[in-house]
Structure 1
Amino acid sequence: MTRASRVGKGRHNDPIILPKILPPEAPVGPTGAGLRVKQPVGVILAGGQATRMGGGDKGLLSLGDRTIIDHVVERLSPQVAGLALNANGDPARFAHLGLPVIADTVEGFAGPLSGVLAGLDWAATQGADDIVTAAADTPFFPCDLVPRLQLAAEEAGSEIALAKTPDGRHPTFGLWPVSLRHDLRQALTEGLRKVILWTDKHGGTTAMFPDDLAFFNVNTPDDLTKAQAML
């Protein structure tokens, strides 16, 4: 996975400069003074039921000349040391992405936290300390998501950081420590489903992104039309 910065297309076709990705144990922040981190791996969450889109995989819907999930991969992959996809069912439908596909390990539809747990278990096999998650239906999230989540966690002395805009927190976009995977597994076994309840229990913090549309996601056919106009 390359860690060099690259140029992509943003909203309205303005060029976006993707941030140079930090090598393992590289300093983060304006000066990097006293701050060293290990590069996280990324996990795209595609386990939702897409009921408002008539079922199926929202990430596989066309957006421009690609699928929504192609846009997600393009934005997240330069920011992480490795990338996997959390999805249930036949993984062959995502074969074109060339990514490992990891299924939920909790029975039934347990929501986003089940995907986070699957990602944490996979990351543990990769020797990673943390994962950063992104939703498969959110094609325009910030190209500096990862370093800003890392910096927010460091400044707050927290292991967990969620993305936030003026509209509120976005719990499918977060930094999660592998060390808490067993705690999360137990919580899910006991019936916990709300992301915020678990992150607040562990002192989670937030990284503020001022753009209300930074985490615009495609939930309905109208949203897909809006996303096409945002290209």
Structure 2
Amino acid sequence: MSAPLGVILAGGRATRMGGGDKGLLALGDSTVLDHVIDRLTPQVAAMALSANGDPARFARFGLPVLPDPLPDFPGPLAGVLAGLDWAAAEGAETIVTVAADTPFFPRDLVARLQGAAEGQTHPLVLAATPRGEGERTKSMRGGRLIRHPTFGLWPVALRDDLRAALTDGLRKVVMWTEPHGGREAVFDDPGEPFFNVNTPADLDAARARLERAE
């Protein structure tokens, strides 16, 4: 399977951080988004940002900025659709999405998502992790896992189907992926591979984690 295009989902409203762009928060000598880009760049053929509002705030990254193709902030699936439309124009067959506020995701994310997609007519895979004690979980095929729906492999061939579902009011990722035979790639890496920065305390934890890694 050829390298997909990468789409960084940066369209959240960051209400628990007081608003603004979580990806632009300082982390080490750069920003959270810089760390995301650093991890994703070697894994994909090209990248874009899915974000609403003035794209000029992301100008220094030199990436295309893709606004939601539907109004009223319909959630991460709208960012996925924006990425699929961009990829179609670029002649690509798949995209991989990552969240702009998750600076420590696996450096082999794409390879493992693609591995889980082997045999699928339309590669459609979400990242998942084993549940931890006390964590809110959902029962899934093969056991109890936690899905990370902003981290996934998505086929361009299904973009019109996704557009129709969003237009009809669908908002939950798994309600669209499951009918299409979506799979899970399980990441049992130590240290919360999909840790994301949602609150000021999370940002402090990310900074401490980065210092330990240096």
Aligned counterpart, 2:199: 220
**What TM-score comes out, normalization by structure 1 length?**
0.82
Match of 2:177 among 180, 184, 199: 199
- After superposition, give the CA deviation of every residue in 1:77-116 in whole Å (9 maximum; x if it has no partner): 1100010000000001001111111110111110000000
CA RMSD in angstroms, aligned pairs only: 1.1
> Are 2:128 and 1:171 equivalent residues in the alignment?
no
Rounded Cα–Cα distance in structure 1 between residues aligned with 2:52 and 2:83: 13
Match of 1:126 among 82, 90, 93: 90
Matches within 5 A, 1:129-144: 129-144=93-108
**What TM-score comes out, normalization by structure 2 length?**
0.89
Rounded Cα–Cα distance in structure 1 between residues aligned with 2:126 and 2:52: 24
Aligned counterpart, 1:115: 79
Match of 1:190 among 168, 177, 190: 168
Partner of 1:217: helix, strand, or coil?
A: coil
Identity of aligned residues (%): 68
- After superposition, give the CA deviation of every residue in 1:8-55 in whole Å (9 maximum; x if it has no partner): xxxxxxxxxxxxxxxxxxxxxxxxxxxxx1221000000001110111
How far off is 1:201 after superposition? 1.2
Aligned counterpart, 2:5: 41
Q: Number of aligned residue pairs: give it.
A: 195
Rounded Cα–Cα distance in structure 2 between residues aligned with 1:62 and 1:38: 34
Partner of 1:133: helix, strand, or coil?
A: strand
Aligned counterpart, 1:208: 186
Partner of 1:154: helix, strand, or coil?
A: coil
Asked if the contact 2:122–2:155 (Cα under 8 Å) also holds between the matched residues in 1, the reply is no
- Structure 1 gaps of 5+ residues are 1-36
Asked if the contact 2:114–2:123 (Cα under 8 Å) also holds between the matched residues in 1, the reply is no
